């Protein structure tokens, strides 16, 4: 059995550029709304965050494993962030409702690991 989506939201996926100390859109120069899922693989009990641009090309802009013990920081009602081994991800949600939905799913995923 493959992976199933436990939530999907709209957000602009951002990466923190440590060198210049600023947020940059993941996958392109200009910020772009993406559809962001949390996928669950029941067999392995793993989760990952996958986001694709809503634009025609549906470019994958994030494909990031949810790591056990990871701290998910809800910096503002519509901007949440977390660290992976290499970089800091930020999600600028289209709505605070989407932010809350994603945070609930992420919290459940972290509790299930």
Ligand X SMILES: CCOC(=O)[C@@H]1C[C@@H](CC)[C@@H]2C=C[C@H]3CCN(C(=O)[C@@H]4CC[C@H]5C=C[C@]6(CCCN6C(=O)[C@H](Cc6ccccc6Cl)NC(C)=O)C(=O)N54)[C@@H]3C(=O)N12
Residues making contact with ligand X (CB under 6 A): 14, 16, 23, 71, 73, 75-76, 79, 81-83, 88, 90, 92
Residue 25 tokens, joined: 């859109």
How would DSSP label each residue in 33-90?
Answer: EEEEEEEEETTTTEEEEEEEESSTT--EEEEEEPPTT---EEEETTEEEEE-SS-EEE
Of 2 and 22, which CB lies nearer to ligand X in the complex structure? 22
Q: Which is nearer to ligand X, 4 or 104 (CB)?
A: 104
User: Taking the complex as a whole, how short is the minimal distance between the CB of residue 28 and ligand X, in angstroms?
Assistant: 14
Minimum separation from the CB atom of position 38 to ligand X (A):
17
Residues 40 and 109: their CA atoms lie apart, in Å, by 8
Residue (6 or 23) nearer to ligand X, CB: 23
């Amino acid at each position: 059995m493959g992976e199933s989506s436990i939530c999907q939201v709209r957000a602009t996926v951002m990466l923190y550029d440590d060198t210049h100390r600023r947020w940059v859109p993941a996958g392109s120069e200009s910020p772009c709304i993406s559809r962001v899922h949390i996928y669950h693989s029941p067999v392995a009990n793993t989760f990952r965050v996958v986001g694709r641009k809503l634009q025609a090309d549906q470019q994958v802009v994030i494909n990031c494993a949810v790591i056990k013990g990871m701290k998910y920081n809800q910096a503002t009602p519509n901007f949440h962030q977390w660290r992976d081994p290499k970089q800091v991800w930020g999600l600028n949600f289209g709505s605070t409702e989407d932010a809350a939905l994603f945070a609930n799913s992420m919290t459940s995923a972290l509790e299930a690991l």
